[in-house]
Amino acid sequence: MSIPAQATSANVHPATAVRSVPPGAEPPIMRVEGLRRDYVQPSDFIDFIGRKLRGRGKPPPVQAVMGVDLDIRHGEVLAVVGESGCGKTTLGRMLTGIIPPTGGRVFYKGRDIAQLSGAARREYDLAVQMIFQDPFSSLNPRLRVGDIIGEAPMVHGLVSRAERDDYVCELLRKVGLDPDYRERYPHQFSGGQRQRVGVARALALKPSIIVCDEAVAALDVSIQAQVLNLFMELRRDFDLTYVFISHNLGVVSHISDRVAIMYLGRVVELADTEEIFARANHPYTQALLKELPVLSAGKRRFDPIAGELPSPANPPAGCAFHPRCPMAMAKCRAERPELREIAPAHWSACHLNEVADSARIAAGTPVAGTGEPATSTEIA
């Protein structure tokens, strides 16, 4: 694995808040700054006494998300990709307000949601909806589909009781289901049909943003394609913005406009989808793409990423990926790299970029993408 020359630049900037909206463009519909979520490990009486006797303090918190900065543009599909346990689902739940962040801020249409109340808070709660990974466990088994979809919009005054039935029928048609299915219970549907019911439930509140948490992971490949195509049709018809959480890069390449790669609670690379697949910069991203299945008649050797994802309760010092990185150096073990803009609209958190920049400075060669000679002052 190597760092592409096109993706390195000495003119880099720390991403204390990743700003990926071009100058003059409309502001992002959602912005997160320094978002963090910690979980305190439960401790029973025996564990408490044992820690006291050993002179230990409280157990360390599990750092599920650690300082994420993102801009989400209106109408785009932002994919969040990473291994299980990297914090992507926790990030999605914080975006929807299902769980509160431990630190950081979430802005919706320029307003900090922590400061919202009354009608403004209700607008945000309705505007950001979620489609869950398991369509069966996310649907109430005691309610008919008509009630699952129609209850919330009626409670929030979006439709009257007299209009509810027609509204549910229209939504079911939009997601490709027969309106007569509204009298059925969730267990009477297939997995793909249940996921369509989940989509209809999210659409019922007329959202602006939908967070899709592994929304097609539990479905067969043929059904996945149908649901993905449905997402794109609904995006066009309802002017939706998606945050698409997935571990499947093949699915991500089909649906997303930009990709954020997460590792152990942090975003380690962010760029347009084409840029990520053509010029991945971070060694972790390169390793993920290397193992992506391709149609080929020849034999192929797969080299999985060595080791396992470290515990978020005890993350390694320096770069979190260094225990598994074949290109790790001493600095990686001691200092955490900042997420920096290494090319226009392309951010990466890797010390190898600094090494490449230093080599260009020493050689006096032009900085990638600028045509200008590198100077020692260009490294932030």
Q: 111-112 and 209-213: which strand pairing?
A: unpaired
How would you class 230 by CB atoms within 10 Å of its CB: exposed for 0-12, middle for 13-18, buried for 19 or more?
middle
The token duo for 235 is: 């995006």
Quote the number of domains for the chain.
1
pLDDT at 221: 82
**221 falls within a domain:** yes
d(C-alpha 264, C-alpha 309), whole Å:
7
**175 falls within a domain:** no
**153 falls within a domain:** no
pLDDT at 218: 77
pLDDT at 53: 81
Q: Which residue positions in the chain have pLDDT lower than 50? A: 1-17, 369-380
**92 falls within a domain:** yes
The CATH number for 275's domain is 3.40.50.300
**171 falls within a domain:** no
pLDDT at 361: 63
Strand-pair partners of 127: none
d(C-alpha 141, C-alpha 138), whole Å:
9
pTM of the predicted structure, to 2 decimals: 0.85
Count of CB atoms situated within 10 Å of the CB of 118: 7
- Parent domain of 328: 5-142+185-294+310-378
Starting at the earlier edge strand, list the strands of the sheet with 62-72: 62-72, 30-39, 103-108, 111-112
d(C-alpha 169, C-alpha 146), whole Å:
8
**168 falls within a domain:** no
101 in Cβ contact with 35 (< 8 Å): yes
Q: How far is CA 142 from CA 113, 138, 180, 334, 367, in A?
A: 33, 12, 18, 54, 63
**151 falls within a domain:** no
**81 falls within a domain:** yes
**Could you give the angle at which helices 161-174 and 191-203 cross, rounded to 10 degrees?**
130
